Amino acid sequence: MYDFKPDPDLDPAERYRQLCDAAEALTSGESDGIANMANVAALLWEFVPDLNWAGFYRMGEGADGSSELVLGPFVGRPACIRIPLGQGVCGAAASEGKTQLVEDVHAFPGHIACDAASRSELVVPVLRAGEVVAVIDLDSPRPARFNEADARGLEKLAALLADRI
């Protein structure tokens, strides 16, 4: 049994450090990327307070052969399955290869509302050899839930996972 019990009073940097340690332990030596993403989605849900969605979109292929994001393992309500590059917060992170920290999703042009409860969002690309292979997406029902500490912490997690998903 895996029993991770993050202290509710941890500061964000320490919270993400412990999350990365747990992710390292859970994914070490496991070659199945889907299993690793599933466990890390569960860890994000346990470690990061005030979320209504936590999970992955993987880089995949659309019907016309072009690249698009495809839903991966997550915790939360059912979500849109395919997101074209450049659309919504996830599509922006994937096409630019850059973290998107959105304090108010209603003010983000083209935001895709998978859960009407979402108010703020943090999306970090997972880069392997300079290519975006997936994004990690966190949604919160709290406006401005995420800050730079969350962004840097999630980027460290993304770097750790680059060769494991």
Residue pair 130/144 in contact (Cβ under 8 Å)? The answer is no
Rule CB under 6 A: say whether 83 interacts with ligand SME: yes
DSSP state of 164: T
Nearest distance from C-beta of residue 29 to ligand SME, angstroms: 29
Q: Which of residues 40-79 bind ligand SME (CB under 6 A)?
A: 53, 79
Q: Which residue is nearest to ligand SME (CB)?
A: 88
Nearest distance from C-beta of residue 115 to ligand SME, angstroms: 7
Which one of residues 111, 119, 145, 164 is an interface residue with ligand SME (CB under 6 A)?
A: 111
Residue 16, Cα to own-chain centre: how many angstroms? 13
Which one of residues 72, 88, 125, 153 is an interface residue with ligand SME (CB under 6 A)?
A: 88
Segment near ligand SME (CB under 6 A), from 19-27, 31-39, 82-90, 157-165?
A: 82-90
Question: For strand 100-102 and strand 131-140, is the pairing parallel, antiparallel, or unpaired?
Answer: unpaired
Q: Which helix (H) or strand (E) holds 157?
A: helix 148-161
Nearest distance from C-beta of residue 88 to ligand SME, angstroms: 3
Beta bridge partners of 162: none
Which one of residues 38, 56, 136, 137 is an interface residue with ligand SME (CB under 6 A)?
A: 137
What contacts 24+ positions apart, CB below 8 Å, involve 144-148? 144/103, 144/104, 144/120, 145/50, 145/119, 145/120, 146/101, 146/102, 146/103, 146/120, 146/121, 146/122, 147/12, 147/101, 148/101
Residue pair 150/160 in contact (Cβ under 8 Å)? The answer is no
Segment near ligand SME (CB under 6 A), from 18-26, 33-41, 85-93, 140-148?
A: 85-93
Please give the residue ranges that form the binding site for ligand SME (CB under 6 A): 53, 79, 83, 88-91, 111-112, 114, 118, 121, 137, 139
